[in-house]
Amino acid sequence: MQLRFVCPLFRPAALFSAAVAATVISASLLHRRGILSPPNPDPAMTRSFILWLHGLGDSGPANEPIRTFFTTPEFRNSKWSFPSAPYSPVACNYGAVMPSWFNIHEIPIGVASPKDEEGVFKAVKNVHAIIEKEVNAGTSPENIFLCGFSQGGALTLASVLLYPKTLGGGAIFSGWVPFNTTIEEKVSLEARKTPILWSHGIDDRTVLFEAGQAGPPFLEKIGMQCEFKAYPDLGHSISTEELQSLVSWIGARLQSSVNKTD
């Protein structure tokens, strides 16, 4: 579930092999927050915050090149955060210790795969702490966007659903629904207003396409809006096309937010 910046595609490393655990990444990189402030902020523009959650075995700093796609004017006041997951033993890799937001029991991940709900809820608290820090710094929740790939996509979904306020949006790439039980009663009315963009490669053999397809019906039952995009010939990766779509999707919502305040 690692992403590596290889123009024009972000693609994962070898699928969940023990070799992932041997990837050499410095501890200082893995545990720093990866906060990137806008270089030339415009005080007249609305400030926004984009939080990116990486996949299993990866790190936040390794995903920072993603922000280079966001060059249009509406992102001039966008602050980014690329946090890194803590090291934990992962069951699908025979207990190997690697950066992981929560435990994953099997690969490939399908609709019926077992879920680590307790681990997910714990990770959500950490994500919410990052959001709250930004809200306290003056950013409106409606201008905060959560995005994530694979395991980070599943955590993005959980974090959006369990946050008590309406966020700008949640973007899920090659993710899945990380719950075994219903959480509908835990989703606030405000959280249900947060729009979701869900993108998944049809040829994904790590998080099966069926796992992604299960997302929109799950969200519709809760009463949430979800735009689902399927990408033919795309495996467990993020394409340039997906990222360009994300730029437009977030940009339109930022522009809408600006118009509300005018």
pLDDT value, residue 258: 61
pLDDT (average), residues 170-176? 99
Look up residue 70 and give its two tokens: 């966001």
Task: Specify the pLDDT at position 11.
Answer: 38
What is the structure's pLDDT at 43?
66
To the query of whether residue 54 is one of the catalytic residues in this protein, the response is no
pLDDT: is 112 or 26 the higher one? 112
Q: Which of 54, 59, 236, 237 is catalytic?
A: 236
Active site residue 204: yes
SS (H, E, C) the chain: CCCEEECCEEECCCCCCHHHHCCCCCHHHHHCCCEECCCCCCCCCCCEEEEEECCCCCCCHHHHHHHHHCCCHHHCCEEEECCCCCEEEEHHHCCEEEECCCCCCCCCECCCCCCCHHHHHHHHHHHHHHHHHHHHCCCCHHHEEEEEECHHHHHHHHHHHHCCCCCCEEEEECCCCCCCCCCHHHCCCCHHHCCEEEEEECCCCCECHHHHHCHHHHHHHHCCCEEEEEECCCCCCEEHHHHHHHHHHHHHHHHHHHHHHC
Tokens of 98: 């690697």
- Residue of 150, 159, 237, 239 with catalytic role: 150
Calculate helix-pair angle for 151-162, 117-136, nearest 10 degrees: 70
CATH class of 33-261: alpha beta
Domain limits, the chain: 33-261
Q: Give the model's pLDDT for residue 138.
A: 94
Name the active-site residue from 78, 81, 84, 204: 204
Give the mean model confidence (pLDDT) for residues 97-110: 98
What pairing do the DSSP bridges indicate for beta strands 96-99 and 169-173? Answer: unpaired
- Summarize pLDDT for 5-56 with one digit per residue, the tens: 332 333 343 333 322 322 223 333 333 457 777 766 666 578 999 999 999 9
Task: Report pLDDT for 12.
Answer: 41
Q: What is the mean pLDDT of the chain?
A: 87
Percentage of residues of the chain with pLDDT beyond 90: 78
User: Is 42 among the residues known to form the active site?
Assistant: no
Task: Taking residues 226-237, report their average pLDDT.
Answer: 98
pLDDT at 83: 98
pLDDT for 244: 98
Please determine, for residue 259, whether its predicted confidence score (pLDDT) is greater than 80: no
**Average pLDDT in the 55-59 region?**
98
Report which of residues 39 and 179 the model is more confident about: 179
pTM value is 0.87
* pLDDT given for residue 42 in this prediction: 67
More confident residue, 27 or 191: 191
Indicate whether 236 pLDDT > 60.
Answer: yes
pLDDT number for residue 255: 79
Q: Among the listed ranges 6-15, 122-131, 184-193, 241-250, which one has the minimum average pLDDT value?
A: 6-15
The sign of the torsion formed by the CA atoms of 23, 28, 32, 36 equals negative
Give the model's pLDDT for residue 53: 99
